[in-house]
């Protein structure tokens, strides 16, 4: 869907993107991750043709990005905003028409979305009369009304209460199911695991990691397990197939975070433990995206 090839973007004394490349597959929910100032917004602006790269190329379905593609992209910027003194319904129609819809079509779809998100009673209100959550909903409608093939959402859940965040999340997933590709930029790693098929991690203007979420998490497995058992604390002897990273006891249960020694297997752990305690639970600790994020970004920023 989108091929980003060797993008360089230089601002006066600061290089925002340095030779960044990535592929975004059609139908994916793609997470664009990175700490503040990593270059996410710069990249998003380039895809939206708000700015142009100094060198490098962006392909949209194989064609070099051009003005035609603007109408096939829906963009929700991190800093939301609508005209304060304009009726919300008219405003949505205006933005839809800027994306190439005819007036009757824009009106029809706006009505549909207002009903779906239950904000139809706000149609004639000025934006400044609405609550923040209502404004966000209206802005979401403005982003998706022209049924874009590519949705670019920058922190879409900020400003929503949990109920509305859930509604918006489901709408995004539904659009994705209908075929829209979603680029999703965020700091909230738990939503990444929940929503994203693949990610790219930017740090200090470089891409430092990309791929499918499942693959990335698997590649960061380190043989760490969580063991929970009943009874007294065990004391390891020299023959144990694992080492203990962390121990806690809670209501008579002992919880141990352990790392299996090289050459040993999960079954060896069970085998060792069975005579010693009554085992409640043993599960692998797969690193969360949050862990990976902190590990990758933290390590790189410490080196610098």
Partner 1 sequence: MNKILLIIQREYLSRVKKKSFIVMTFLVPVLFIGMISLVGFLLMKQNDIGDKHKIEVVDESGRFANNLKSTTVIEYVTAKGNYTTAKKTFIKDGDDYLLYIPASLDSIQILGEKKAGPMTTGKIEDELSNIIRSQRLAAAGIDTSVLSRAQKPISITAMQITEKGVKDAHSYVAMFIGFLSAFLIYMCLFIYGTQVMRGVIEEKVSRIIEVVISSVKPFQLMLGKIIGVGLVGLTQFLLWIIISVVLSMTVGTALIKSQISAKTEQVSTMQQGSSTGTPATQKQTDINFTSIMHDVQDIPVAYTIACFLFYFLCGYFLYSAIFAAVGSAVDNETETQQFMLPITLPLIFTFIVSQNFIINNPDSSISVWLSMIPFTSPIAMMVRIPFGVPAWQLALSMLFMIIGFLFTTWLASRIYRVGILMYGKKASYRELAKWIMYKE
Residue with Cβ nearer partner 1 (128 or 174): 128
- As to burial, measured by CB atoms within 10 angstroms (0-12 exposed, 13-18 middle, 19+ buried), residue 192 is buried
Among the listed residues 59, 86, 226, 294, the single contact to partner 1 using CB under 8 A: 86
Q: Which pair of structure tokens corresponds to residue 266? A: 């999960």
- Assess contact for 200 and 44: CB atoms under 8 A: no
Among the listed residues 36, 62, 85, 263, the single contact to partner 1 using CB under 8 A: 85
Among the listed residues 21, 51, 164, 224, the single contact to partner 1 using CB under 8 A: 51
12 binds partner 1 (CB under 8 A): yes
- Which one of the spans 51-59, 174-182, 221-229, 264-272 is the region binding partner 1 (CB under 8 A)? 51-59
Strand partners, 184: 31, 153
- Assess contact for 100 and 66: CB atoms under 8 A: no
Report in angstroms how near the CB of residue 182 gets to partner 1 at its nearest. Answer: 16
Residue with Cβ nearer partner 1 (50 or 299): 50
Site string for partner 1, 135-154 (x = CB under 8 A): ----x--x------------
Residue with Cβ nearer partner 1 (18 or 71): 71
- Which one of the spans 28-36, 42-50, 170-178, 279-287 is the region binding partner 1 (CB under 8 A)? 42-50
- Which one of the spans 47-55, 57-65, 176-184, 191-199 is the region binding partner 1 (CB under 8 A)? 47-55
Closest CA to 256 of 230, 221, 237: 230
Q: Which pair of structure tokens corresponds to residue 166? A: 């859930």
79 binds partner 1 (CB under 8 A): yes
75 binds partner 1 (CB under 8 A): yes
4 binds partner 1 (CB under 8 A): no
Report in angstroms how near the CB of residue 79 gets to partner 1 at its nearest. Answer: 4
Residue with Cβ nearer partner 1 (149 or 193): 149
Report in angstroms how near the CB of residue 166 gets to partner 1 at its nearest. Answer: 24
Report in angstroms how near the CB of residue 17 gets to partner 1 at its nearest. Answer: 15
Where on the chain is the footprint of partner 1 (CB under 8 A)? Answer: 12, 45, 48-52, 54, 67, 70-71, 73, 75, 77, 79-86, 94-95, 97-99, 139, 142
């Amino acid at each position: 869907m989108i091929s980003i090839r060797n993008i360089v973007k230089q601002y006066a004394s600061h290089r925002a993107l340095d030779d960044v490349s990535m592929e975004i597959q059609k139908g994916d929910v793609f997470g664009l991750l990175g700490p503040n100032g990593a270059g996410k917004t710069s990249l998003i602006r380039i895809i939206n043709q708000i700015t142009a790269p100094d060198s490098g190329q962006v392909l949209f379905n194989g064609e070099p990005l051009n003005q035609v593609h603007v109408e096939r992209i829906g963009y929700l910027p991190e800093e939301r905003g609508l005209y304060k003194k304009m009726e919300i319904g008219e405003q949505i129609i205006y933005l839809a028409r800027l994306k190439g819809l005819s007036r009757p079509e824009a009106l029809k779809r706006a009505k549909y979305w207002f009903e779906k998100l239950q904000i139809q009673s706000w149609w004639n209100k000025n934006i400044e009369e609405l609550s923040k959550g209502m404004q966000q909903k209206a802005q979401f409608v403005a982003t998706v009304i022209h049924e874009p093939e590519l949705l670019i959402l920058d922190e879409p859940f900020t400003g929503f209460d949990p109920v509305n965040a859930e509604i918006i999340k489901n709408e995004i997933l539904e659009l994705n199911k209908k075929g829209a590709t979603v680029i999703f930029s965020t700091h909230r790693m738990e939503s990444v695991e929940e929503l994203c098929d693949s990610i790219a991690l930017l740090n200090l203007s470089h891409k430092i990691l990309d791929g499918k979420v499942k693959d990335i998490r698997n590649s960061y497995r380190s043989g760490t397990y969580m063991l929970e058992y009943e009874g007294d604390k065990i004391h390891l002897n020299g023959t144990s197939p694992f080492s203990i990273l962390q121990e806690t006891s809670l209501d008579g249960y002992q919880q141990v975070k352990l790392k299996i020694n090289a050459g040993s297997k999960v079954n060896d752990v069970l085998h060792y433990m069975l005579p010693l305690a009554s085992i409640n639970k043993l599960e692998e600790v797969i690193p969360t995206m949050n862990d990976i994020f902190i590990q990758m970004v933290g390590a790189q920023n410490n080196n610098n």
